[in-house]
Chains A and B, each alone.
Chain A
Amino acid sequence: MSDQNNINREEEIKKLEKISVEKVKERWRFVIFYRFMFLFVTLGGWEVLGRTGIIDPFFFSMPSSIAYQLYIWIIKGTSQGPLWLQVLVTLEETVLGFLIGAVMGIICGIALGRNKMLADIFSIYIKIANAIPRIVLGSIFIIALGLGMASKVALAVVMVFFVVFGNAFQGVREADTNLIANARVLGASDRQVTFKVVLPSALSWILASLHISFGFALVGAVVGEFLGSKQGIGLLIATAQGAFNAAGVFAAMIVLAVVALIADYLITRLENRLLKWRPNV
């Protein structure tokens, strides 16, 4: 009798589970549908407003013109050469600047985080440097380093460095003193404490900063190109602006967004790999 009851009970729970699984799927379909709806309404609205002349497509362009511009760039290339070359140039500047800035930021962050005296002396200047709109340095770099790649990389480095530095510093300062004491008693040298305890502790802070700072590096590279260059997406934007080609500016923006999204995806992958010990949130 009780066996029969148990079986009935199990079946009942299975049924309930089926219903709840169905509900979860239903909700997901709803979300996806409205996501597309939103996109459709926004782009469609823009197109309609443009075509009916309520907003002036000369200044604000239209999704169809932007798509056409992208199509032209991809098929026929831009005025300054093929699109992929422009992307490559900007990407190279961004990645170089990002890597140099991040490595410098991590090294300086750890050095200052581990040394209270250095931190007390320099922290005020770092705050000041961080408050300065560093993008303005782009002009200096163009003057000093010329129109080539170096000035863009330098600007990207400056953009990235302070973000990563700040986070690495904070991460090191927040490393659990208990963990450090434990490592020391277990026999770790100062070097081992830094690399085996402090660095891994600060890693989640550092990786978080990499997300934001890749975007900063991209901004640095593009603004650098904008200020003066021979190649790159920034120049593409500057040229489009000069020709009153609003569609061109938007199209370049989309290219940049795609680059940024891909980079963000890759950094997330890296993060999940390096932080696999973290509880899932």
Chain B
Amino acid sequence: MNSNFLIELENVDRRFTSPEGKIIQVLDNFSMTVKPGEFCAVVGPTGCGKSTTLSLISGLAKANAGKVLIEGKEFEGIDSRVGYVFQTDAVFPWKNVLDNVAVGPLFRGVDKKEAIEKSLDWIKRVGLQGFEHHYPHQLSGGMRKRVALAQTFINSPDILLMDEPFSSLDVQTKLLMQQELLQLWSKHKAAVVFVTHDIEEATILADKVYVLSKRPTKVKKIYNVDIERPRIVTETRYTKKFIEISKSIWNDLSEEVNI
């Protein structure tokens, strides 16, 4: 067992059973590894099971066969080292920003005062000071995403799972949030698995891009993105290297999405 890896999926199968009892094979003999502090992006055709990989790593779902290892060990339930940013809004609409961010430490039994202090600090770090007592519906989509980021980062996860977190944002906000994510990550250095359908987003953020095939899903190809950091989202996307890599990922992917 190579314990250099923080996350390992080894020959994993994942099936879904429909209400009528029919079986849909989503992941088929699927393997993937992530080192500590590595930024991995996962791209693939729609419905191929990109998000399923995240559910498996988080422990929200169990593999039907194969192994899911964190630091070389199998784990029970949901691992406390994991943070998860969801595709749709998953902030609690009945809590204001302050309480939303503080919720992680509170669930984990941290003292209320300390949780609030930590929450205030993270609200500042994601640039939401002045909005502590706003409710989610009073915020813009981008601001809600910031709340979600703070909510996740406050637990200092070693593993950060992100499921198309910026797909619902407009292009400008998206670029801004990507940059902000890179900054937060560079300070914290969690291992990231970032699922997206946006090839450029994958290339600009990640060290390693997994391209998945259509269902039943296997890893089709792995790209190493050796563009140096720190990257400036709005500039790096025009460099030759970036364009080359994006293009070849797209070539790979287009074979899978041809209809």
Q: Which residues of A contact B (CB under 8 A)?
A: 176, 178-179, 181-189, 192, 196-197, 200, 203, 275, 277-279
Residues of B within 8 A of A188 (CB): 107
B238 interface residue, CB < 8 Å from A? no
Chain-A contact segment, one of B91-99, B169-177, B241-249: B91-99
Q: Which residues of B contact A (CB under 8 A)?
A: 58, 60, 78, 80, 82-84, 86, 88-96, 103-104, 107-108, 135-138, 151-152, 155
Given contacts A181-B60, A183-B103, 20 further A-B pairs with CB under 8 A are A178-B89, A178-B90, A179-B90, A179-B92, A182-B151, A183-B92, A183-B107, A184-B78, A185-B78, A185-B82, A186-B107, A186-B108, A187-B155, A197-B92, A203-B94, A277-B95, A277-B137, A278-B137, A279-B137, A279-B138
Q: Is the interface of A mostly helix, strand, loop or mixed?
A: helix
Residues of A within 8 A of B155 (CB): 186-187
Q: Is the interface of B mostly helix, strand, loop or mixed?
A: loop
Q: Tell whether, in the assembled complex, residue A187 and residue B108 are in contact, meaning their CB atoms are under 8 Å apart.
A: yes
Residues of B within 8 A of A179 (CB): 90, 92
Q: Tell whether, in the assembled complex, residue B96 and residue A181 are in contact, meaning their CB atoms are under 8 Å apart.
A: no
Q: Which of A179, A185, A203 has the most CB of B within 10 A?
A: A185
Closest 8 CB pairs of A and B: A182-B90, A187-B107, A187-B108, A186-B104, A185-B84, A279-B137, A277-B94, A188-B107
Q: Tell whether, in the assembled complex, residue A182 and residue B94 are in contact, meaning their CB atoms are under 8 Å apart.
A: no
Residues of A within 8 A of B86 (CB): 178, 181-182
Given contacts A179-B92, A181-B90, contact A187 B60 (CB under 8 A): no
- Give A181's nearest chain B residue, CB to CB: B60
Q: Tell whether, in the assembled complex, residue B93 and residue A186 are in contact, meaning their CB atoms are under 8 Å apart.
A: no
Q: Tell whether, in the assembled complex, residue B103 and residue A186 are in contact, meaning their CB atoms are under 8 Å apart.
A: yes
Residues of A within 8 A of B151 (CB): 182, 186
Tell me the complex Cα distance, A200–B160, Å.
Answer: 27
Enumerate 24 A-B pairs (CB-CB under 8 Å) in ascending A order.
Answer: A178-B86, A178-B89, A178-B90, A179-B90, A181-B90, A182-B84, A182-B90, A183-B92, A185-B78, A186-B103, A186-B104, A186-B107, A186-B152, A187-B104, A187-B108, A187-B155, A188-B107, A189-B107, A192-B107, A277-B93, A277-B96, A277-B135, A277-B137, A278-B93
Residues of B within 8 A of A185 (CB): 58, 60, 78, 82-84
Residues of A within 8 A of B103 (CB): 183, 186, 196
Tell me the complex Cα distance, A189–B84, Å.
Answer: 16
Tell me the complex Cα distance, A181–B84, Å.
Answer: 9
Residues of A within 8 A of B94 (CB): 200, 203, 275, 277
- Give A197's nearest chain B residue, CB to CB: B92
Tell me the complex Cα distance, A185–B104, Å.
Answer: 9
Tell me the complex Cα distance, A203–B155, Å.
Answer: 28
Minimum Cβ distance to chain B for residue A206 (Å): 13
Residues of A within 8 A of B152 (CB): 186
Tell me the complex Cα distance, A200–B136, Å.
Answer: 15
- Give B103's nearest chain A residue, CB to CB: A186
Q: Tell whether, in the assembled complex, residue B92 and residue A200 are in contact, meaning their CB atoms are under 8 Å apart.
A: yes
Residues of B within 8 A of A187 (CB): 80, 104, 107-108, 155
Q: Tell whether, in the assembled complex, residue A178 and residue B84 are in contact, meaning their CB atoms are under 8 Å apart.
A: no
Tell me the complex Cα distance, A187–B86, Å.
Answer: 15
Given contacts A184-B60, A187-B108, A188-B107, contact A178 B96 (CB under 8 A): no
Tell me the complex Cα distance, A209–B138, Å.
Answer: 27
Tell me the complex Cα distance, A176–B151, Å.
Answer: 18
Minimum Cβ distance to chain A for residue B86 (Å): 5
Tell me the complex Cα distance, A189–B96, Å.
Answer: 21
Residues of B within 8 A of A182 (CB): 84, 86, 90-91, 151
Minimum Cβ distance to chain A for residue B141 (Å): 14
Tell me the complex Cα distance, A186–B148, Å.
Answer: 11
Tell me the complex Cα distance, A182–B84, Å.
Answer: 7
Tell me the complex Cα distance, A88–B103, Å.
Answer: 44
Residues of B within 8 A of A279 (CB): 137-138
Out of B58, B88, B136, name the residue touching A178 (CB < 8 Å): B88
Q: Which of B80, B88, B92 has the most CB of A within 10 A?
A: B92
Residues of A within 8 A of B92 (CB): 179, 183, 197, 200
Tell me the complex Cα distance, A197–B80, Å.
Answer: 19
Tell me the complex Cα distance, A197–B103, Å.
Answer: 11
